[in-house]
């Protein structure tokens, strides 16, 4: 597989649409569509700039999940607290800000921040960090934007595993981290 060209085909408010032209294994050209949060000028820039963070938050033996309406799937799903870094903002500052904005909780300890990984590898070059944090405080939703419908709650391992196994709608990152939390603490 060889990438021949990258061309922007649409410039949206938050996402830019690109067509990538590849030479496939048989030597034929194939066009592939992706979206990016960034303005890309060359193929070398694909996936090179992390855009935010997903936060795996716990309070003792409780796991934090957001139940939020996501327009892209037109339903509520269980998700991790997450957000985009602002201009000049460190990943640590983003973790503190996003957690507080979406839940009213405060970071007690950042346990680990993983290197960036791809968020939706089939359709986008977006990468985000995954942060593991211990939190404190009380859940309060008064800081939400009018464009967000989020209900934050803590779940114990038994309840969480029942939600996972019963087919509740999860984002993939929320589902896999919740599953491992239930099995490995």
Do both 15 and 75 map to the same domain? no
Given a contact cutoff of 8 angstroms between Cβ atoms, the answer to whether 128 and 53 are in contact is yes
Q: Which ranges of the chain would DSSP assign to H, the alpha helix?
A: 91-103, 157-165, 172-184
Do both 21 and 109 map to the same domain? no
Q: What's the distance, Cα to Cα, between the start and end of the chain in Å?
A: 41
Q: What is the pLDDT of residue 185?
A: 62
Do both 34 and 57 map to the same domain? no
Do both 73 and 140 map to the same domain? yes
Whether 100 is covered by a domain: the verdict is: yes
Query: Which residue's structure tokens are 């963070």?
Result: 53
List the domain range (segments joined by +) for residue 75.
Answer: 52-184
Whether 45 is covered by a domain: the verdict is: no
CA–CA separation, 110 vs 132, rounded Å?
A: 6
pTM of the model: 0.89
- What is the mean pLDDT for each group of 10 consecutive residues in the chain (185 residues)? 93 93 94 93 88 96 95 93 94 96 95 95 92 96 73 96 96 96 86
CATH of residue 123: 3.90.79.10
CA–CA separation, 155 vs 137, rounded Å?
A: 15
Q: What is the pLDDT of residue 176?
A: 96
Whether 44 is covered by a domain: the verdict is: no
Do both 178 and 90 map to the same domain? yes
């Amino acid at each position: 597989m060889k990438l021949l060209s990258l061309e922007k085909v649409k410039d949206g408010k938050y996402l830019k649409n690109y067509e990538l032209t590849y030479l496939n294994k048989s030597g034929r050209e194939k066009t592939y569509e992706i979206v990016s949060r960034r303005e890309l000028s060359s193929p070398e820039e694909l996936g090179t700039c992390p855009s935010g963070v997903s936060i795996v938050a716990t309070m003792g033996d409780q796991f934090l999940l957001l139940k939020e309406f996501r327009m892209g799937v037109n339903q509520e799903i269980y998700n991790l607290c997450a957000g985009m870094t602002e201009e000049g903002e460190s990943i640590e500052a983003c973790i503190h800000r996003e957690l507080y904005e979406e839940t009213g909780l405060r970071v007690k300890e950042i346990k680990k921040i993983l290197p960036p990984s791809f968020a939706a590898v089939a359709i986008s070059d977006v990468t985000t960090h995954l942060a593991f944090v211990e939190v404190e405080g009380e859940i309060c939703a008064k800081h939400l934007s009018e464009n967000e419908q989020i209900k934050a709650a803590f779940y114990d391992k038994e309840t969480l595993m029942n939600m996972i196994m019963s087919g509740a709608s999860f984002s993939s990152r929320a589902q896999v981290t919740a599953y491992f939390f239930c099995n490995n603490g």
